[in-house]
Structure 1
Amino acid sequence: MAGKRKSRRGFGRIRKLPSGRYQARYPGPDGVLRPADRTFATTTDADRWLAKKRIEIEDGRWIDPVEGQTTVRDWSARWLAAVSPQLKHKTQASYRSLINSLINPALGDRELSSLRPITVTEWVAQMRTRELSPSRIRQAYRVLSQVMASAVDNDLIAQTPCRGVRLPRMPQTEPHILTPLEASRVVRKADKPHDLLIALLAFAGLRVGEGFALRRDDVDMAGGTVLVDENLAEANGALVFDTPKSHQKRLLRVAPTLAKRLGKHLETLPDDGRALLFTTAAGKPLHYNQWRKAYFDPAVVAAGLTDVTPHDLRASHGTWVADKYGVMTAAHRLGHSNASVTTRHYARPVAGRDDQVAEASDAWVNGHDLDRGARSGHDDDDDGLAGALVPV
C-alpha cells in the first residue's frame, strides 16, 4: 500500500503512488485539501512545490484551480452582461458579434486556465489565414484581452494569456483633405436640405451620425450655435440613438450664413423640439448607406471630385481649424477629449506651409522676432472660425 507522510515543512501531504511518483496535496485557505496539478519524481521536488504554494496562500496570490476551469464561453458571456450597461448599443453589438463569430468557435470550450500566449498567437494566426482584415483581427483580440483581464481581476486565473502577441499591422490610410472651396462645391451640388447636412460635416466637423441625430431643439438661432448631444448609429441593422462617441457632448458656433440657412430650414419642420432636422422623404431617420448613395456621392461627382467620403469632410474641418487656430481648438470642434486623437487621425499638414516656415525662419536666423501681428496658431477663437469657414 502506498505510504503517506506530512511535508517536511509541516504543510500539506505527500504520498507515493503505485507508479513510483509522488503526489502532493495542500490545504487551501478554506482548509480543503487539493492535489497538485502534477506529480513529482522525488519527495524533495514535492516539498519544494508545497513550499511555493504555501507562500502563494500567505501572500494572497493563491487562485482556486476550480475557478480556472470556467470556460471562455461562459466567462465571456458573464463579462459582456456585466459591462453592457456602460457600453453604447453599437459597441455592445460589436462585442457580441466578435465573441460569437471569432472567439467562441475557436476558444469557447477551452478552460480559462488552459490558455497560454501561444494559444492566443495560434488563434490570431488562424484568423490571418482566413484573410480577415487586420482591423477585424485586432478588434477580436482587444475583446479577448478585456475578457481575460477581467478573469485575472476576479481571481480566476493568475495572469492573462493576451501578452506578447504580435498583431497584424493596420494599413496606413490617409483621409482625403479637401480645400474649403472644394467642400463648398460639394455643398452647392447637393439636394436640399441635405446640402445643409453636408455643410455641417464640413464646416462644423460633425460626425455623420451626429448630423443624422440633430433635432430642432439643438439649434439656437439667437446664439448661432448647434448642440451636439446625440448620435444615430446602426447596430445589427437597427437604428439606435445614443450619446456621441466617447460621450463628448459639445456646443458649436457655426458660420453666420450657415446659421441663417438652418433657420430657414427650421421653418419647414414640425413645431416639435424633438423633430429631426434631416429625415427620409417619409420622415424616418436616415440610414448611412442609403443617404450616401442617394445624396452625398452624387454631390461629390457633380462637384468634379472623386474618392471623397463623408468622414473626409470632418477630417478636412479638423485640418483647417488646426492649421489656423491650433490643435486644441480643433479637438474641441471635433469632440475629442484628447488632442492626440485629433493629430493622429484627422488634422494633416496644409500644403505650402513648409515653404512659409522656411521663409519666416530667415528672420529667425538673423536674430529677429516673429511678426507681432501674426497669429500664434493657438487662439481658441470659435467666433473667428465661424465667420471664416462660410459654406456658401
Structure 2
Amino acid sequence: MASISPGRPSDDGSPRYVVNYRDPEGRQRRKTFRRKAEAVAFRNTVEADKLRGTYLDVDAGRISFRAYAEEWLDSRTFSPLTYEATELRLRLHVFPTLGHLELRQIKPSTIQKLLRSMEMAETYRRVIFSNVSAIFSAAVDDDMIAKNPCKASSVTRPATSRRKVVPWPTEWVSAMHDALPPQY
C-alpha cells in the first residue's frame, strides 16, 4: 500500500508531500507533490491501477521511438525482403521526424504532422502508417505507453483507393494463351 509522508519544505517554506509506493515489479518508487490533495489523488490512482492491472511505469516510455522501432524490427519474423523494405521505410520517412522523440512524447498531433509531411503516393503512405501503428501497438502491449496515438479519432489515416477491376478483352486473353509455352 502506498503511503504519504511530509517531505522537506520547498525553498519558499511551503510544505511538500511524498508518496512512497511499490510498482508491480516490487521496485520502491516515490513522487513529491506541493499539495496534499494531489498526493492523495496520485496514491489512489497508483493503487487502483495496480489492482486493475493497468499500471504503467512512468520511466517505460522514455525510450526513443528509433530505439524501440529497431528493437521491434529485430524481433519480427519477416522474410529478409520484407525486413529490408520496412527498415528502409522507417529510416527514410519516419526516423527523421519521430526518431529522436521518446515514445511518451508522441501524440496524435505528432502523427498527423508526420502524415502531412509525407508527399508520396497514398498507398505508400498507408504502408508507412501501418508500420508506425504496428510499432505503437507493440509498445502498448509491452506496457511502454497507454495508448496507440495512430488509433486516435483525430488522426486522419491515409485514404484507401478503390480501383475498378477492368477485365482484359478476349483478344488479349487469347494472345496470352497462345504465347505461353506448351507445358503451361
Task: Tell which structure's C-alpha radius of gyration is larger.
Answer: 1
- Are the aligned partners of 2:2 and 2:43 in contact in 1 as well (CA < 8 Å)? no
Choose between structure 1 and 2 for higher RCO, CA contacts under 8 A separated by at least 6 residues.
2
Kindly indicate whether residue 153 of structure 2 is the aligned counterpart of residue 262 of structure 1: no
Aligned to 2:114: 123
Aligned to 1:178: 168
Q: How many residues align?
A: 178
Aligned to 1:69: 62
Aligned to 2:79: 88
Give the Cα–Cα distance (whole angstroms) in 2 for the partners of residues 14 and 143 of structure 1: 47
- Are the aligned partners of 1:152 and 1:160 in contact in 2 as well (CA < 8 Å)? yes
Give the Cα–Cα distance (whole angstroms) in 1 for the partners of residues 170 and 17 of structure 2: 77
Aligned to 2:98: 107
Deviations 1:202-260 (A, max 9, x none): xxxxxxxxxxxxxxxxxxxxxxxxxxxxxxxxxxxxxxxxxxxxxxxxxxxxxxxxxxx
Kindly indicate whether residue 140 of structure 2 is the aligned counterpart of residue 156 of structure 1: no
Kindly indicate whether residue 24 of structure 2 is the aligned counterpart of residue 34 of structure 1: no
- SS in structure 2 opposite 1:119? helix
Q: Please tell me the residue identity of whatever aligns with 1:45.
A: E
Q: Please tell me the residue identity of whatever aligns with 1:168.
A: P
Aligned to 1:137: 125
- SS in structure 2 opposite 1:145? helix
- Are the aligned partners of 1:112 and 1:157 in contact in 2 as well (CA < 8 Å)? yes
Aligned to 1:328: none
Give the Cα–Cα distance (whole angstroms) in 2 for the partners of residues 21 and 134 of structure 1: 56
- Are the aligned partners of 1:14 and 1:46 in contact in 2 as well (CA < 8 Å)? no
Task: State the Cα RMSD in Å.
Answer: 2.5
- Are the aligned partners of 1:68 and 1:157 in contact in 2 as well (CA < 8 Å)? yes
Give the Cα–Cα distance (whole angstroms) in 1 for the partners of residues 131 and 22 of structure 2: 32
Gaps of 5+ in 2: none
Q: Please tell me the residue identity of whatever aligns with 2:161.
A: P
- SS in structure 1 opposite 2:44? helix
What is the deviation of 1:74?
0.7
Give the Cα–Cα distance (whole angstroms) in 2 for the partners of residues 126 and 35 of structure 1: 38
- Are the aligned partners of 2:5 and 2:19 in contact in 1 as well (CA < 8 Å)? yes
What is the deviation of 1:175?
3.4
What is the deviation of 1:22?
4.5
Report 1:1-392 matches (<5 A).
11-13=3-5, 15=7, 16-18=9-11, 20=14, 22=16, 24-29=18-23, 30-35=26-31, 39=33, 42-83=35-76, 85=77, 87-127=78-118, 131-163=119-151, 164=153, 165-188=155-178, 195-196=179-180, 261-262=182-183
Give the Cα–Cα distance (whole angstroms) in 2 for the partners of residues 34 and 149 of structure 1: 29
- SS in structure 2 opposite 1:91? helix
Give the Cα–Cα distance (whole angstroms) in 1 for the partners of residues 148 and 173 of structure 2: 48
Distance 1:136 1:10, change over 3 A: closer
- Are the aligned partners of 1:134 and 1:169 in contact in 2 as well (CA < 8 Å)? yes
What is the deviation of 1:10?
5.9
- SS in structure 1 opposite 2:125? helix
Aligned to 1:255: none
Give the Cα–Cα distance (whole angstroms) in 1 for the partners of residues 96 and 112 of structure 2: 16
Distance 1:10 1:73, change over 3 A: closer
Gaps of 5+ in 1: 1-8, 189-194, 198-260, 264-392
Distance 1:33 1:10, change over 3 A: closer
Deviations 1:103-162 (A, max 9, x none): 1111111111111222212221222xxx22111211111001111111111111122111
Give the Cα–Cα distance (whole angstroms) in 2 for the partners of residues 68 and 144 of structure 1: 16
Give the Cα–Cα distance (whole angstroms) in 2 for the partners of residues 122 and 23 of structure 1: 39
- SS in structure 1 opposite 2:114? helix
Q: Please tell me the residue identity of whatever aligns with 2:114.
A: W
Q: Please tell me the residue identity of whatever aligns with 2:143.
A: D
What is the deviation of 1:23?
5.5
Deviations 1:330-350 (A, max 9, x none): xxxxxxxxxxxxxxxxxxxxx
Q: Please tell me the residue identity of whatever aligns with 1:156.
A: M
Aligned to 1:331: none
